[in-house]
Amino acid sequence: MKITDTMLESMIDGVEEQIQTRNPIETQETYQLLLNNGYSSKDAKKKIAVAIAVESFAIIKTAKPFNRERYIQNLKRIQNGKEPIE
């Protein structure tokens, strides 16, 4: 499934909310690490939005609820320079 600009903006809104509320804290940690590694704020949020997209598509595909553990594992993958996986 292709991510449209509208979908991406919605996911970035989610990233910004997670950063502000620090819920989960791993989003804030990932964002700060990406900034420290030279990413712009916009690019860091886009990278984190990919993890939200992966989780969103998994929910649609499997009809199962949000999997917080998988989402956090994907944030950790981003922190380690890897792409999120389903």
What average pLDDT does this structure show over 54-81? 93
Distance (Å, whole) CA 6 – CA 25:
25
What average pLDDT does this structure show over 54-69? 92
Task: Classify burial at 76, counting beta carbons within 10 Å of its beta carbon; exposed 0-12, middle 13-18, buried 19 or more.
Answer: middle
Helical (H) or strand (E) element with 64: none
Confidence band of 7 (pLDDT split at 50, 70, 90) = confident
Domain ranges of the chain: 5-80
To the nearest whole percent, how much of the chain has pLDDT over 90? 80
Confidence band of 1 (pLDDT split at 50, 70, 90) = low
- What does the CA dihedral 68, 74, 77, 83 come to, rounded to 10 degrees? 180
Q: Is the pLDDT of residue 86 over 90?
A: no
